Amino acid sequence: MFIDVAKIKIKAGDGGNGGVSFRREKYVAAGGPDGGDGGKGGNIVFKADTNLSTLADFRYKRKYIAENGQNGTAGKCFGKNGQDLIIYVPNGTLVKDVESGRLLADVSGDEAFVVAKGGRGGWGNSHFATATRQAPRFAKSGAPGQGYDVQLELKLLADVGLLGFPNVGKSTLISVVSEAKPKIANYHFTTITPTLGVVRIGEGASFVMADIPGLIEGAGEGVGLGHQFLRHVERCRLLVHIVDVAGSEGRDPIEDFEAINKELAVYSPELSSRPQIVAGNKTDMATPEQIERMEKYCQEQGYEYFNICAPIAEGTKELINRVAAVLSTLPPILTFEPDPIPEEELCVTRDRFTVTEENGTYIVEAEWLKKIMSTINPDDYESLQYFQRVLHQSGIIHALVDAGCQDGDTVCIYDMEFDYLS
């Protein structure tokens, strides 16, 4: 099954917490704190795999989570870094953030793209030792990894795209000039998925041609499977527009040509301005007047025109040679410039919290506080001092005062309750 759009959830690994420990060895007096730092969380990495042609695998697995960093341990031993999670996708896949619509990566070529970064590891208590605080019993928690919902969108990497109404002979042409084996039959919409074929024109010279399923009127606005197929034309450097010059199905080839170009303009004005070569197929069924009319129209509109009869490969060599010549003058296949989400929007900053009052109790909620609280020892004075500094520096204490909190009022932060004292 050909699937070219999928939505998945990705989450990079969280950083490991710093360790809290003290050196205890015989003959070593006052060994001091020796808690190691936590390891970094694993990244989410996207990489192209040329063996994949659809996004079908992402219909069955929709959640991808990288490995967390390990916590720091005694002896100033650092926690192990989390392993990166590599997600393989077809070449030409766009990775977009669902919420903002930003393009995070265009996975084309051999480059690997880090789309979600793992969290940093927290400091162990050895970092917090000072001349006046020689036995810190607290450590810094690891930072959370980036995570969000993304949409994967496949846009085929092809040099040439074949356009035309259903049953004009696109599949026949690509089967004749390349090794591709599309389904061919004498009825509409025989081809229901795009087909790629490598066209070889000499020693070491070739280009990729895409057979785009037949478009219909209204495709530019999403009628039928319009948008699904038109997205695969976007990267093409050159368009070969095939028309049934004989009008064998009662349609006018000039009207067909203009209708398809109109749909291209509706979908993307930039796409409609791509170079086009017109190929008049089914010449064995056409009259000289029909062929002459199409040739004259293309000449007046400024398009190069070739007569072909695809089933018997008549005229196809001249067409392919001209396509290769035009491609040599055009820029490389289009790639899209990523627009990554700013770092400050992804990071869980300490200014994100809420303070609410219920029946005289002030409730503080902040996701980033949960990991910090897991490293706090309520029975240790210095550890509580560190926690109090976090509350001051993050603005939570100031927010409590603004909310009307006074001495003796109860403050609840998840599992911890205490009386407020100014």
d(CA 390, CA 384): 10
- Tell me: do 105 and 231 sit in the same domain: no
Neighbouring CB atoms inside 10 A of 342's CB total 9
- Tell me: do 96 and 168 sit in the same domain: no
Q: What confidence tens digit (pLDDT) does each residue in 325-383 have? A: 999 999 888 788 887 766 555 554 555 788 888 888 888 888 777 777 777 777 777 77
Percent of the chain with pLDDT over 90: 31
Strand locations in 30-185 (E): 44-48, 63-65, 85-89, 93-97, 103-107, 113-116, 147-154, 160-163
Would you say 118 and 80 are in contact if contact means Cβ atoms under 8 Å apart?
no
- Local confidence band at 225 (pLDDT 50, 70, 90 cut-offs): very low
Q: What confidence tens digit (pLDDT) does each residue in 245-276 have? A: 998 888 899 998 998 888 888 877 888 888 99
- Tell me: do 355 and 317 sit in the same domain: no
The three-state (H, E, C) secondary structure of 387-413, written as one string: HHHHHHHCCHHHHHHHCCCCCCCEEEE
Report yes or no on 308 lying in a domain: yes
- Tell me: do 56 and 119 sit in the same domain: yes
Please report the pLDDT score of residue 222 as a whole number: 45
Q: What confidence tens digit (pLDDT) does each residue in 104-137 have? A: 999 988 889 999 999 899 888 888 887 777 778 7
| Domain coverage including residue 411 | 349-419
Cα 191 to chain centroid distance, Å, stands at 27
**DSSP character at residue 65:** E
pTM given for the model: 0.71
- Tell me: do 110 and 151 sit in the same domain: yes
Strand locations in 35-159 (E): 44-48, 63-65, 85-89, 93-97, 103-107, 113-116, 147-154
- Tell me: do 8 and 92 sit in the same domain: yes
- Local confidence band at 229 (pLDDT 50, 70, 90 cut-offs): low
**DSSP character at residue 28:** B
At 352, the amino acid letter reads R
Please report the pLDDT score of residue 66 as a whole number: 96
Report yes or no on 256 lying in a domain: yes
**In the structure encoding, which two tokens stand for residue 259, read together?**
């209708």
Give the count of domains, the chain. Answer: 3
Is 213's pLDDT higher than 50?
Answer: yes
Q: What confidence tens digit (pLDDT) does each residue in 148-201 have? A: 899 998 887 788 988 888 888 888 888 888 876 755 545 444 445 677 788 888
**What's the whole-number mean pLDDT along residues 301-306?**
94
d(CA 370, CA 383): 15
- Tell me: do 197 and 323 sit in the same domain: yes
